């Protein structure tokens, strides 16, 4: 539990610097448009054939916000940052896509594996939610969280029946009270999912797939 809580607080602290959490590939930020560009930065034989291109990654992120959160993003009204980040020890590359509303300053972030198109994380940040609402305890019970995550899980083709749900309790970040749920994979002990819910509006603010090594 202690290790899990440390992970959660690390996630919460990471949101304002959504594009700065991992090592970035020097001289290639915002410039990787082709498979050739990506291949230059990965060891020979370590990349798969089905590389996700920049535009396909952006289309996938927009689709997930639409179907999973019922948020239709209009890129004309958003500042846009698209970067490649790397997990150095495995030469895994991710598209790190962030949109920021010009008017409301709301931020929408999606991190996608370039090799297989799998979404690694999703984060939403609304500065207008800060300092709102009184402190409350456990807005959602474990059984209630399923109705909240259902649209997102359906969009990601995740079967909730394959997971045990653990209530991680209350956590605080950016003056907002959050409730944390951990979905433990019944079939694969090397993977679980962390969901963070804003206690004020019962909306998902973060989704992370966590992978562990033996």
pLDDT digits (tens, 9 = 90+) for 62-87: 999 999 999 999 999 999 999 888 87
Q: How many domains does the chain have?
A: 1
Instruction: Determine, yes or no, domain membership for 32.
Output: no
In which domain, by residue range, is 72 found? 2-21+48-211
Instruction: Determine, yes or no, domain membership for 28.
Output: no
Instruction: Determine, yes or no, domain membership for 202.
Output: yes
Q: What is the 3-state secondary structure (H, E, C) of the chain?
A: CHHHHHHHHHHHHHHHHCCCCCEECCCCCCCCCCHHHHHCCCCCCCCCCCCCCHHHHHHHHHHHHHHHHCCCCCHHHEEEEEEEEEEHHHCEEEEEEEEEECCCCCEEEEEEECCCCCEEEEEEECHHHCCCCCCCCCCCCHHHHHHHHHHHHHHHCCCHHHEEEEEEEEEEECCEEEEEEEEEECCCCCEEEEEEEECCCCEEEEEEEEECCC
Main-chain dihedrals φ then ψ at residue 54, nearest 5 degrees = -55, -50
- Calculate the alpha carbon distances from 79 to 57, 104, 106, 127 in Å: 17, 11, 10, 16
Instruction: Determine, yes or no, domain membership for 26.
Output: no
Instruction: Determine, yes or no, domain membership for 34.
Output: no
For residue 104, give both structure tokens: 């409301």
Instruction: Determine, yes or no, domain membership for 35.
Output: no
pLDDT tens by residue, the chain, 214 residues = 545 444 554 454 444 444 343 333 333 444 444 444 454 554 444 444 447 888 999 999 999 999 999 999 999 999 999 988 887 657 788 999 999 998 889 999 999 998 889 999 999 998 876 655 555 555 677 778 888 999 999 999 999 999 998 877 666 655 567 888 999 999 888 889 999 988 778 889 999 998 876 5
Instruction: Determine, yes or no, domain membership for 27.
Output: no
Instruction: Determine, yes or no, domain membership for 38.
Output: no
Q: For residue 119, which of 79, 64, 172, 76 has the smallest C-alpha distance?
A: 64
């Amino acid at each position: 539990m202690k290790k899990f809580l440390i992970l959660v607080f690390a996630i919460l602290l990471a949101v304002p610097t959504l594009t700065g959490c991992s090592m970035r590939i020097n001289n290639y930020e915002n410039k990787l448009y082709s498979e050739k560009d990506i291949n230059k930065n990965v060891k020979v034989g370590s990349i798969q054939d089905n590389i996700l291109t920049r535009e396909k990654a952006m289309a996938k992120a927009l689709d997930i916000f639409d179907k999973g959160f019922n948020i239709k993003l209009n890129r004309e009204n958003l500042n846009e940052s698209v970067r490649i980040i790397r997990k150095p020890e495995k030469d895994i590359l991710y598209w790190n896509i962030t949109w920021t509303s010009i008017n409301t300053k709301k931020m929408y972030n999606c991190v996608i594996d370039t090799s297989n198109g799998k979404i690694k994380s999703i984060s939403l940040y609304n500065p207008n939610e800060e300092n709102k609402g009184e402190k409350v305890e456990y807005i959602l019970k474990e059984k209630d969280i399923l109705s909240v995550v259902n649209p997102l899980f359906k969009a990601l083709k995740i079967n909730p029946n394959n997971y045990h749900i653990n209530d991680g309790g209350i956590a605080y970040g950016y003056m907002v009270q959050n409730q944390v749920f951990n979905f433990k994979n019944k079939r694969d002990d090397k993977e679980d999912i962390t969901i963070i819910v804003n206690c004020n509006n019962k909306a998902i603010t973060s989704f992370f797939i966590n992978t562990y090594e033996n």
